[in-house]
């Protein structure tokens, strides 16, 4: 989606793994030293990053700028702008980062895309969630969330089962592909087959112009988290769950029967809860 509200630094983080090695050197330098970058000439940056000037110009064009000077002007504006409309300081670095990420998500939400997805969800006969690894946890969460309100939802975290199920999808099915990077082969292939089978496909990803965005009908972007090096990042999963809740809440506001089923589910689940301190376990 070309009108995605991503800043230069976020866009570089989101596309880092897709860049050529020389372009990655420039991107990493700009991400690490953004304040210095706006004061460098293209020749100075070329020396500091260890690349050619032509490579810098090529990267600028990939990011949608005419040249390095154009990028510097936009970067300077970005650095001068306040980072967040929400001020919250926590002694815990992880919590502070999550709050900042959710604030960025709020700024970049594409309401038009979300509304389009909601309309498809409300009219769907099946809702399916695909994800592998830690994204599979979010896929399962999405299925549980929608099932609770009576939507026929399921999830698949095994790549083979994703493919087997995808070939049976049709025009009344909605398939969500959960992928923080957007470049996981299994998820991309499963979404590609789902779309070719006639299903309406949605990607929830932080990978700007990643491979999954090429094979789905609609992409809902979350703030990029960078490249995972072992331990899964928490922030993209929190954002993905938030997006699912936004879609869920909007779908509930339209579908009265779903609201009634949700109330019945809550009432039924009361029997599974302890309500008396003296009740034996």
CATH of the domain at 66: 1.10.10.10
Helical (H) or strand (E) element with 85: none
Q: Is 85 among the domain residues?
A: no
Q: Is 205 among the domain residues?
A: yes
Non-local CB neighbours of 227 within 8 Å, separated by 6+ positions: 16, 17, 181
CB 155 within 8 A of CB 142: yes
Q: In what order do the strands lie in the sheet with 173-178?
A: 153-156, 126-130, 173-178, 200-205, 218-221
In this predicted model, which residue has the larger pLDDT, 142 or 227? 142
Please give the residue range of the domain that contains residue 45: 8-80
With tokens 């499963």, the residue in question is 190
Instruction: Quote the strand ranges of 148-211, DSSP E.
Output: 153-156, 173-178, 200-205
Residues 154, 54 share a domain: no
pLDDT at 91 exceeding the cut of 70? no
Weakest-pLDDT range from 55-59, 99-103, 118-122, 146-150:
99-103
Residues 71, 147 share a domain: no
* Residue 2: per-residue pLDDT: 45
CB 211 within 8 A of CB 188: yes
* Residue 89: per-residue pLDDT: 53
CB 207 within 8 A of CB 183: yes
Nearest to 191 by CA among 152, 122, 207, 182: 182
* Mean pLDDT value across the chain: 88
Residues 145, 14 share a domain: no
Residues 247, 162 share a domain: yes
Helical (H) or strand (E) element with 221: strand 218-221
* Residue 45: per-residue pLDDT: 94
pLDDT bin (cut points 50, 70, 90) of residue 228 is low
By three-state DSSP, how is residue 275 classified?
coil
Nearest to 31 by CA among 59, 70, 69: 59
Query: Is the pTM for the entire model greater than 0.85?
Result: no
Q: Is 158 among the domain residues?
A: yes
Distance CA 252, CA 46 (A): 53
Residues 173, 45 share a domain: no
Residues 171, 66 share a domain: no
Per the structure, the count of domains in the chain is 2
């Amino acid at each position: 989606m070309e009108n995605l509200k991503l800043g230069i630094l976020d866009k570089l983080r989101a596309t880092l793994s897709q860049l050529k090695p020389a372009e990655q050197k420039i991107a990493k330098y700009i991400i690490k030293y953004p304040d210095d970058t706006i004061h460098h000439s293209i020749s100075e940056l070329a020396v500091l990053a260890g690349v050619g000037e032509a490579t810098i110009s090529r990267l600028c064009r990939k990011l949608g700028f005419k040249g390095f000077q154009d990028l510097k002007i936009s970067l300077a504006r970005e650095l001068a702008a306040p980072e967040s409309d929400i001020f919250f300081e926590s002694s815990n670095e992880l919590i502070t980062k999550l709050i900042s990420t959710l604030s960025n998500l709020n700024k970049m939400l594409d309401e038009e895309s979300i509304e389009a997805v909601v309309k498809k969800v409300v009219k769907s006969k099946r809702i399916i969630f695909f994800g592998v690894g830690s994204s599979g946890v979010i896929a399962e969460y999405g299925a549980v969330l929608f099932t609770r309100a009576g939507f026929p939802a399921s999830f698949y975290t095994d790549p083979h089962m994703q493919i087997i199920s995808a070939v049976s999808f049709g025009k009344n099915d909605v398939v969500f592909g959960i992928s923080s990077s957007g470049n996981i082969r299994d998820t991309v292939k499963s979404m590609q087959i789902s779309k070719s089978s006639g299903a309406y496909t949605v990607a929830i990803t932080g990978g700007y112009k990643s491979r999954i965005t090429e094979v789905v009908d609609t992409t809902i972007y979350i703030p990029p988290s960078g490249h995972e090096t072992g331990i899964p990042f928490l922030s993209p999963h929190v954002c993905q769950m938030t997006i699912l809740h936004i879609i869920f809440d909007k779908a509930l506001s339209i579908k009265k029967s779903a609201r009634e089923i949700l109330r019945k589910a809550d009432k039924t689940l009361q029997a599974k809860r302890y309500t008396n301190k003296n009740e034996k376990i």
